[in-house]
Chain A
Amino acid sequence: MRTTRWVAVFGAMALALSAAACGGDDGGDEGGSGSSNFAAGSTMARLNEAQKIRVGTKFDQPGFGLKGLSGKPEGFDVEIAKLVAKALDIPDDKIEYTETPSTVREQVIQQDKVDIVVATYTINDKRKQVIDFAGPYYIAGQSILVKTDNTDIAGPESFKDGTKKVCSVTNSTPASNIEQYLGDKAKQLVLFDIYQKCVDALKGGQVDAVTTDNVILSGFISTNEGLFKLAGQPFTEEPYGIGLKKGDTAFKNFINDTLEKAFQDGTYAKVWKETAGKFDTTELKTPTIDRS
């Protein structure tokens, strides 16, 4: 009697589970609007069929990728990612955002945790050895943020004397760039994992300056009314690109085509004005896509 009762219970559970599983599968199939104008077997076709794209972006960069109270990030980088998703016929709510701080941007692509990375990602040759870049979609420049009443830092040369302390983020191009201008690295350089910690250190006076791309700094100026200013002019050129898996030339060309279309039909200028353009009023220059 007991055995038959257990068999009946398990049989009922198994039936219920398989019914639920079947129901789930049916629901998934209806979602896709698989459009057939992508080459079979390409990344575009795969993403379009899955109706899902995984995007790595920053969650803490005002104007570029800032996680709002809705739980989703907002900003210029996010809008660029949405342009790519739209070109793949994937609706905005099917984009999965992952936070990718500067240190992990190559790893998440290499380990296939995201499909693209749009995270104030400077194109440089060293990174090109392990991943590919589409774009650039924006040209920033490295600059220095100081307190409003600071008069003794006018540019990167001010750090040669070895007394001024500067903060940046680990494994970022601004950090390696500023190292060349420092008199004594151990006494002058502080690295954290996110820029907000640098800004806090600047507020508290532990460091005299924060250095990174000018648009990121402008974002922090706008969120800290009147506390900070930029010292001097941008002293490098930082082309921002979209990171993707190495060797995926078809996907790279597709994204480049999407970007060029957006440059020409006004969408690019529009999304800039709605996001980072609100506090960076310098004129927006359309970059030239690097097809190399």
Chain B
Amino acid sequence: MSPVLDNIDVFLSGFWVTLQLCFLSAIGALLIGTVMAVFRISPVPPLRAVGTGYVTVFRNVPLTIVFFFSAFGLPALGSNANFLRIPGLDQMFTRLGIDLPYFRFAIIALSLYTGAFVCEALRSGINAVPAGQAEAARAIGLTFGQNLRYVILPQAWKAAIVPLGSVIIAMIKNSALAGFFGVIGDLSNAGLALITVRGEPTIPIMIGISIGFLIMTVPLGILLDRIEKRRAVAR
């Protein structure tokens, strides 16, 4: 394992870049996914169509193609994803504010793709709530929004938490693709560069990269297990 320890600074900086990318993409995916899930269950037909269309496209197009469209299609359309240079955030996450747009493109690609799976996971949680709850809410006169906020979603998230966790863990692993689309220095590509450029032996470096990803995914999994034990619906 000495190749890993000798190059620990490369691994640490790569881990930090990947962590930033995953954190921001997770927030984006949860936001987009929740909005789309609400669209899909709404009583307004055009919104349902938008939600279904979004999920159909982004669940079925491979992530690599989504990345291609994001990293090479968006520039062709003239966008530098500058709307993501949010003033407060780009002090904390420095890569967000720089001129090179590829970090922001990677966040867009990951969020759009994962958002479709988040939407479906949330929807399965919502469907797990007994129909009687929604009917009773309608019977006492709650609007759609109040229904969701006070009755359905508080019960739905418990059932949705496990699939949501899997989706986020899958997204963390998918973030490795970002290195092939212009993001310099993320964990897997920094490790690969050690192998191809500095000639370090392959297996120890790959183990190091895997440990880096495990550090991100395993605590998340344990946290979800805890939440499930305490709060989730047992059937």
- Cα distance A165–B101 in the bound complex, in angstroms: 11
How many CB-defined contacts (below 8 Å) exist between A and B? Answer: 55
A206, B102: Cβ atoms closer than 8 Å = yes
- Cα distance A188–B185 in the bound complex, in angstroms: 13
A170, B182: Cβ atoms closer than 8 Å = no
B184, A171: Cβ atoms closer than 8 Å = no
Q: Which of B98, B101, B184, B199 contacts A191 (CB 8 A)?
A: B184
A171, B182: Cβ atoms closer than 8 Å = no
A14 at the interface (CB under 8 A from B): no
B196, A103: Cβ atoms closer than 8 Å = yes
Interface string of A193-207 (1 = CB under 8 A from B): 100010011001111
**Closest B-chain residue to A198, C-beta based?**
B182
Q: Which stretch (B2-10, B72-80, B141-149, B166-174) binds chain A?
A: B72-80
Q: Which residues of B contact A163 (CB under 8 A)?
A: 99
Closest Cβ of chain B to A287, distance in Å, is 26
A126 at the interface (CB under 8 A from B): yes
Interface residues on B, range: 20 to 34
Q: Which residues of A contact B184 (CB under 8 A)?
A: 185-186, 189-191
B197, A206: Cβ atoms closer than 8 Å = no
Q: Which residues of A contact B95 (CB under 8 A)?
A: 186
Residue among A171, A186, A188 with the highest chain B CB neighbour number at 10 A: A186
A190, B98: Cβ atoms closer than 8 Å = no
- Cα distance A207–B102 in the bound complex, in angstroms: 11
Q: Which of B182, B185, B197 contacts A192 (CB 8 A)?
A: B182
Interface string of A144-165 (1 = CB under 8 A from B): 0000000000000000000101
Interface string of B171-194 (1 = CB under 8 A from A): 000000000111011000100010
Q: Which residues of A contact B80 (CB under 8 A)?
A: 205-206
Interface string of A126-154 (1 = CB under 8 A from B): 10011000000000000000000000000
B76, A204: Cβ atoms closer than 8 Å = yes
**Closest A-chain residue to B189, C-beta based?**
A170
Q: Which of B100, B180, B193 contacts A206 (CB 8 A)?
A: B100
A261 at the interface (CB under 8 A from B): no
Closest Cβ of chain A to B18, distance in Å, is 14
A190, B182: Cβ atoms closer than 8 Å = yes
B100, A171: Cβ atoms closer than 8 Å = no
Interface residues of chain B, those whose CB is within 8 Å of chain A, are 72, 75-76, 80, 94-95, 98-102, 180-182, 184-185, 189, 193, 196-197, 199
17 contacts between A and B (CB under 8 A): A130-B199, A163-B99, A165-B99, A165-B100, A171-B193, A171-B196, A176-B197, A186-B94, A188-B100, A190-B100, A190-B184, A192-B181, A197-B72, A201-B182, A205-B80, A206-B100, A206-B101
